[in-house]
Structure 1
Amino acid sequence: MATSSLGQTEINWDKLDKTKFYVLGAGIFTGVTVGLYPVSVIKTRLQVATKDTAEKSASSVIRGILKTDGVPGLYRGFGTVIIGAVPARIIFLTALETTKVTAFKMVEPFNFSEPTQAALANGIAGMAASVCSQAVFVPIDVISQKLMVQGYSGHEKYNGGLDVARKIIRIDGIRGFYRGFGLSVMTYSPSSAVWWASYGSSQRIIWRLLGQGSDREEAAPSESTIMLVQATGGIIAGATASCITTPLDTIKTRLQVSLNLLTVYH
């Protein structure tokens, strides 16, 4: 298991201040979403583009959005995502941390190396958390993606998220909010497992490279060092997970923004 110094870099669910965890987590998530949301809009438009679509690259999509809608066009569906994703994130983080505690206890008797234990426990927790949160994430995805591509490449126009929801219910019923649910689970559960497994194991490997071994007592690393290691682990995890996510995510997005095709795919 981790050293006393490394143990201070780990989240202990039993001792965690849940109020700060959720409030700060929601705030950080909102801030990150504000910065990265335009990337999601551009990616979604590229994923649903047809061979006849004039905009074939990210730069051409950006120019097209700014020309027709201005900067607000880069944030279509943002309100829906924020309103729905905050409770979804709470579900995800709760499931992640509680499952991680159990998962570490499950793998500990096998005497795997520390990076392997971290990969297995974090991977199990990440997959479980993703499955639990999809019940909220998928409807938000369906609504926000329809808003992202409205009027683009022949897609219908809407008057906000409530208009999208009303039309989904009228055409497909409640099932329409879960269009692509199976693909979402297939996409994000393995992706979440890979992300958290890579994140947990890469951090431990980096700590070892920095001399924070598991067989010695050492002073706790500085906050800046912890942040740097965690950021590096996050980059490695993101790059690894994206390799398996992108193809299925493209299929899922096309399914979720399509109209009147529910029976074809289920």
Structure 2
Amino acid sequence: SSWDGAMEDKRNIPIIEWEHLDKRKFYVFGICMTMMIRVSVYPFTLIRTRLQVQKGKSLYNGTFDAFVKILRTEGTAGLYRGFLVNTFTLISGQCYVTTYELTRKYVARYNNNNAVKSLVAGGSASLVAQSITVPIDVISQHLMMQRKGESMGRFKVQNPDGKRMLVFGQTKDIIVQIFKADGFRGFYRGYVASLLTYIPNSAVWWPFYHFYAGK
């Protein structure tokens, strides 16, 4: 029937392999689009993090209340604390796709089964991406905790509102404090939990995608 034909056309999705990808456009447009999205959602990521950390409702009564109070006391910059550092996680997104495609290409030398290639590549891609993302997230989340004149977290920058602090001065301060307190492991708090969350998800999702696309 015409309906079955339409469904078959929709399911027959072409798979673009790594060698066919316009890598310049992919990296440039991918980063630009992701940056635009992050600029719009980052304030709510910061608010969510503070709401999760605060004791009861000691500071904020909810999302809207937190938004107004942060804007009033800390200005627009307060809603974007840690944003510059967090943008480095954009690298992890590009590394994820690059690792995925290159691993698929490598596995294809030994096994050309789409499910096997996608399973191995998906897990490998998440491993690489999380190895980059987790330490950046740890640092940016500590920066999110820096309120005007005080801190909601374990660490407090020496001069959170001082004009003499360079753009990444607070970041350097937090990095030094994390390293002094916890060593290198301090940058990978929650790393295993992240791997257990993202690797199985990625490893299972891609085989299903290729199975669906090839139907």
1:261 maps to none
Q: Is the 8 A contact 1:50 1:153 kept in 2?
A: no
2:192 maps to 182
Q: What letter corresponds to residue 128 of structure 1 in structure 2?
A: S
CA change 1:175–1:20 in 2 (3 A) is: same
Q: Is the 8 A contact 2:95 2:125 kept in 1?
A: yes
Out of 14, 24, 31, the residue aligned to residue 19 of structure 2 is 14
| Structure 1 position 13, deviation (Å) | 0.9
1:131 maps to 127
Count of residue pairs the alignment pairs up: 191
- Work out the CA distance in 2 between the residues paired with 1:190 and 1:197: 12
2:74 maps to 69
CA change 1:100–1:33 in 2 (3 A) is: farther
Alignment of 1:6-155 (within 5 A): 6-8=12-14, 10-51=15-56, 53-82=58-87, 84-100=88-104, 102=107, 107-108=113-114, 125-151=121-147, 154-155=152-153
The answer for unaligned runs of 5 or more in structure 2 is: 1-7, 161-169
More helix by share: 1
Q: What letter corresponds to residue 12 of structure 1 in structure 2?
A: E
- Work out the CA distance in 1 between the residues paired with 2:196 and 2:17: 29
- Work out the CA distance in 1 between the residues paired with 2:212 and 2:12: 10
> Could you tell me the TM-score, scaled by structure 2's length?
0.72
- SS of the residue aligned with 1:127? helix
Alignment of 1:172-251 (within 5 A): 172-193=182-203, 200=209, 204=213, 214=215
Q: Is the 8 A contact 1:143 1:161 kept in 2?
A: yes
- Work out the CA distance in 1 between the residues paired with 2:187 and 2:29: 29
- Work out the CA distance in 1 between the residues paired with 2:119 and 2:72: 43
Q: What's the % identity of the aligned pairs?
A: 37
CA change 1:56–1:15 in 2 (3 A) is: same
| Structure 1 position 172, deviation (Å) | 2.0
CA change 1:31–1:188 in 2 (3 A) is: same
Q: Is the 8 A contact 2:122 2:199 kept in 1?
A: yes
| Structure 1 position 121, deviation (Å) | 6.3
1:264 maps to none
- SS of the residue aligned with 1:70? helix
Q: Is the 8 A contact 1:92 1:129 kept in 2?
A: yes
Q: What letter corresponds to residue 45 of structure 1 in structure 2?
A: R
Q: What letter corresponds to residue 189 of structure 2 in structure 1?
A: R
- Work out the CA distance in 1 between the residues paired with 2:112 and 2:100: 15
Q: Is the 8 A contact 1:65 1:73 kept in 2?
A: yes
Q: Please, what is the CA RMSD of the aligned residues? A: 3.3
> Could you tell me the TM-score, scaled by structure 1's length?
0.60
- Work out the CA distance in 2 between the residues paired with 1:19 and 1:85: 19
| Structure 1 position 73, deviation (Å) | 1.4
- Work out the CA distance in 2 between the residues paired with 1:60 and 1:130: 36
- SS of the residue aligned with 1:75? coil
Q: What letter corresponds to residue 98 of structure 2 in structure 1?
A: T
